[in-house]
């Protein structure tokens, strides 16, 4: 991909992923134009102040909502690539406001597809989550629907040639919201609350998430779901890393919460290859013609990519180091309260990009290395 010739639009561009993508894109890829599309004018102002908005900057800012297809079409004019990161992501918020979650996460995804086809976008990639796999809450269910319609969007775009794919990954250190700030707050009282001692999660850094999206854009034919090879961690270990001297109280699992997360189901595993440091789930559809993954390695029968049975794990010491190196200073006014979106994961970047796991079954072996 000749990034310097490309115009890129990112929805939800003022979010954690969007800011990190823009930071890396400006430093490493230098696209011709970067369009930030989001609803929040204050966050856009902060981004203008953080990223030099001088003459010659490739950054452009559009106030808009993915619920508004006409505004999306206007913003996409002259754009080559769309990264769809906008979503309602907080599980309790989606449970309490289900219609709003549907409007943004499902109807918004459909608007992205329709607008991209109408305007003639070349490639569109959507960000998804492990919560979309066997969902037990509304947020996961809406993201599952978004995945499905993005993959099937390729069937609508044959004439225009727009390609649609997804990336699916776990919890993100450095994203807004969740466990580390809570643990730090609770640390003052000497007691940390955890729902269940057995709970595990995948963890990925924002840098790894951005590189996964870049790699997916380079390889995508339209219809794939790209999954990173990343590490698992125990939530108990995360608590010990943040507050080693505190008592831990187990309060019971909450509605809509899983003990363990899954990134690839057994059914998906039969149509997945390990390729270039990631997993590529290919659509089991009549129109799919695989060309880019002939060197990919098929996974063993019955393969399931679960945070519980993962081969790569983060220790308490690993987590301490990651938290220290990955989270911004609490005094940083631009990234005030960044952390992770649930329970997280990150380190063990595999040779080629993302973290985690080793498959060692039968004749298939992959070795994860620390980065």
Active site residues: 131
Asked if 272 and 265 count as a contact pair (C-beta separation under 8 A), the reply is no
Outline where the chain has alpha helix (H). 16-24, 41-50, 69-76, 91-96, 98-101, 108-119, 138-156, 179-187, 206-219, 235-242, 266-269, 316-326
Asked if 104 and 64 count as a contact pair (C-beta separation under 8 A), the reply is no
The backbone torsions φ and ψ at residue 252, rounded to the nearest 5 degrees and listed phi first, read: 95, 145
The C-alpha torsion from 135 through 352 and 30 to 13, rounded to 10°, is 10
**CA–CA dist 228, 238 (Å, integer):** 21
The C-alpha torsion from 130 through 133 and 138 to 143, rounded to 10°, is 70
CA distance to 29, 233, 259, 264, per residue, from 255 (Å): 42, 21, 11, 23
Query: What is the total residue count of the chain?
Result: 371
The backbone torsions φ and ψ at residue 358, rounded to the nearest 5 degrees and listed phi first, read: -125, 130
Look up residue 43 and give its two tokens. Answer: 């966050």
**CA–CA dist 242, 131 (Å, integer):** 24
Residue 330 neighbours by CB under 8 Å, 6+ apart: none
The backbone torsions φ and ψ at residue 50, rounded to the nearest 5 degrees and listed phi first, read: -75, -50
């Amino acid at each position: 991909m000749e990034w310097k010739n490309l115009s890129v639009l990112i929805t939800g561009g003022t979010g954690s992923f969007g800011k990190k993508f823009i930071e890396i894109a400006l430093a490493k890829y230098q696209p011709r134009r970067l369009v930030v599309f989001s609803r929040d004018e204050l966050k856009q102002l902060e981004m203008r102040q953080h990223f030099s908005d001088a003459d010659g900057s490739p950054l452009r800012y559009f106030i808009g909502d993915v619920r508004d297809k006409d505004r999306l079409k206007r913003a996409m004019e002259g754009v080559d690539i769309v990264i769809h990161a906008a979503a309602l992501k907080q599980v309790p918020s989606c449970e309490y406001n289900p219609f709003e979650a549907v409007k943004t996460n499902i109807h918004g995804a459909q608007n992205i597809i329709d607008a991209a086809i109408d305007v003639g976008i070349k490639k569109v990639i959507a960000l998804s989550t492990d919560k979309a796999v066997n969902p037990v809450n509304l947020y996961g269910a809406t993201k599952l629907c978004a995945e499905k319609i993005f993959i099937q969007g390729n069937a609508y775009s044959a004439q225009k040639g727009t390609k649609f794919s997804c990336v699916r990954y776990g919890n993100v250190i450095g994203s807004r919201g969740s466990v580390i700030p809570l643990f730090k707050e609770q640390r003052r009282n000497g007691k940390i609350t955890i729902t269940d001692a057995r709970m595990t999660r995948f963890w990925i850094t924002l840098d790894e998430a951005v590189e996964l999206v870049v790699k997916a854009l380079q390889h995508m034919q339209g219809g794939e779901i790209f999954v990173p090879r990343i590490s698992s961690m125990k939530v108990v270990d995360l608590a010990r890393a943040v507050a080693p001297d505190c008592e831990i109280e187990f309060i019971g699992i909450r509605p809509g919460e899983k003990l363990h997360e899954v990134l690839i189901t057994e059914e998906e595993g039969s149509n997945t290859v390990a390729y270039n440091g990631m997993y590529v789930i290919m659509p089991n559809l009549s129109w799919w013609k695989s060309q880019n993954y002939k060197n990919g390695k098929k996974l063993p029968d019955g393969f399931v990519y679960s945070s519980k049975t993962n081969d790569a794990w983060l220790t308490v010491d690993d987590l301490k180091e990651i938290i220290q190196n990955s989270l911004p200073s609490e005094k940083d006014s631009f990234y005030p309260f960044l952390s992770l979106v649930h329970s997280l994961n990150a380190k063990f970047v595999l040779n080629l990009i993302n973290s985690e796991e080793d498959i060692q079954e039968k004749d298939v072996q992959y070795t994860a290395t620390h980065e």
